[in-house]
Structure 1
């Protein structure tokens, strides 16, 4: 079970408010031991690379000057958030691909979790993810927490999306990981965990193609299978039945509906991927769910996940 004591926070360079840093401190203050927070930024200006009139040493000096300015700014904006309860470090690197720089730092610092602010759509109240966000969700080797500018309420709710209908070992292990994470976070935040699972609606065309098919019996059987699997999961992890939900429908409809009903501050999702090879991807279900929810998102990888940016896998 992760305790999230080595936290990498990506600076929000476009704003003085730093919701990711605020969230990191919220987690750190609930830790049983002193946490380490690295406040990180990747910067790049192509004009510095194209200035032919300057020597290499002069260009290096200009880059170092920009980095020092950013470090000073980050130390300043961090002051309202940081206190003596954490070990705090600012780090700025020069890199033309932010997500690669961030993932490299995750590996180099052996961070337990990556926290980054994401945009909130003012009209639809949904979370809008940038290309960097999606790269991090797909390629970061550690849990990725994408946050909005709001507080997690004490005694609030954390929704964990589990896939109990599957007998795939990857999904089974990921379910266990998700439940352990939600218990850990709820313990830190005095929040209530909710395990949510959806099962598919019976396709309407089956009754046309198979007249003898009984959709009611089939639906009852599918629901029974999912309820039985959810019971096994909650009992395995000592979760009360009142904190589990099994609903009919698509995950991208069921999960946002329950999130809204509970006014949840956080959703935990598993992201599926091809394990053991470099071609990894986030599952379509997770993408569709993320597009519709209006709260923070914690994305977890399956056991055995190998990032395509893992330096140990580079040929």
Structure 2
């Protein structure tokens, strides 16, 4: 499978350490043809645009000055991570909505992987996601890798959270996509790939409504269906049975448990890209899982996904 051809890394303006940039260079290290890396930042200061004491040309000059200062800072903090043979450039834009600026850059330069740093919450032992993170997870047309600020565990693992219980074409395609991406990342990160899947708990009240219902047989049948589907998926990619997990429960409980068990450095999730009120009040299953995982997250959209920010849409 082809490697990534154009990587975009969002600068972490609040830190000298750039964990997303470090991860990007870790990913491309050793590849036959390392893809170029763009180090990107969106900045904005309301006061520069609203002051009436400056002319339009003066405001433009001040913005250029701020952009130049940020470019110099980004080149400085990026210096420790640079690797010979990898094309690297810095880009700073003036935009009042960072997530829109980032996605516009993805479209403008055809980036096929986006990396952004997250941070571990001090008390909840989870990864803290900003509003920009959530917008990118929902609306980015390319895979989004959210990176936490420390190294991968030695001999760590990659967990692909597949959904083998569905026979819909969209889910089947997304399962293959997640597995392919897991194997793609495994080589440069020297990690083992695990496929993880959850299946629903039998409703407790169903025996009251249907006295003849046998919950044990039903649970066995559901588990058997998931195991059979998982076997087919893992065999398609040469993954052995010991590297698969099929457990009963909700994904937001099962996937974090498995990630901890195998010492995962990366969990791969499929997202639907839901927006609007449904995203606010319902939330994606992937987003419920993300709240409980303390490791890097790679979020993938199904094939054919069209971002609401696509300039050609």
Fold shared per TM-score above 0.5: yes
Find the counterpart in structure 1 of residue 196 from structure 2.
196
Q: Structure 1 runs of 4+ off > 4 angstroms?
A: 277-283
- Whether 1:269 aligns to 2:279 is no
Cα contact 2:137–2:144 (8 A) shared by 1: yes
Q: Could you tell me which residue of structure 1 aligns to residue 152 of structure 2?
A: 152
Report the Cα offset of residue 34 of structure 1.
2.4
Query: Which residue of structure 1 aligns with residue 92 of structure 2?
Result: 92
- 1:1-315 aligned at under 5 Å gives the runs 1-273=1-273, 284-313=284-313
Q: Is the 8 A contact 1:154 1:189 kept in 2?
A: no
Quote the offset at 1:154 in angstroms: 4.6
Against the structure 1 CA distance between its residues 278 and 121, is the aligned structure 2 distance closer, same or farther, given a 3 Å change threshold? closer
Contact (CA 8 Å) 2:10, 2:116: kept in 1 or not? yes
Give the distance between the partners of 2:2 and 2:154, measured in 1 at CA: 21
Give, in angstroms, the shift of residue 2 of structure 1: 4.9
Q: TM-score, normalised by structure 1?
A: 0.95
Aligned to 1:35, the other structure's residue is in SS state coil
Cα pair distance change 1:312/1:266, threshold 3 Å: same
CA deviation profile, 1:133-186 (whole Å, cap 9, x unmatched):
000000100000001111123531111100000011111100000000001111
Shift of 1:235: 1.2
**Does structure 1 conserve the Cα–Cα contact (< 8 Å) formed by 2:7 and 2:111?**
yes
Cα offset, 1:104, TM superposition:
0.4
Indicate if the aligned counterparts of 1:115 and 1:144 stay in contact, CA closer than 8 A.
yes
Gaps of 5+ in 1: none
Q: Distance in 1 between matches of 2:144 and 2:32?
A: 21
SS in 2 for 1:266: strand
The offset of 1:187, in angstroms, is 1.9
Q: Determine if contact 1:280/1:307 at 8 Å carries over to the other structure.
A: no
Unaligned runs of 5+ in 2: none
Does the CA contact (< 8 Å) of 2:7 and 2:114 recur in 1?
A: yes
What is the TM-score normalised by the length of structure 2? 0.96
Give the drift of 1:268: 0.4
Residues 61-119 of structure 1 deviation map (CA, whole Å, 9 limit, x = unaligned): 00000000000000000011112231000000000000000000001111110000012
Deviation at 1:278?
10
Paired residue total: 311
1:268-291 per-residue CA deviation (whole Å, 9 max, x = no partner) reads 0011247xx999969621011000
Residue 36 of structure 1: how far off its partner (Å):
0.4
Contact 2:153 2:263 in 1 (8 A): no
> CA separation in 1, counterparts of 2:221 and 2:250?
17
Question: 2: distance between equivalents of 1:230 and 1:126?
Answer: 29
Alignment root-mean-square deviation, CA: 1.7
CA shift, 1:5, in A, is: 3.2
What displacement does 1:127 show? 0.5
8 Å CA contact 1:272–1:283 kept in 2: the answer is no
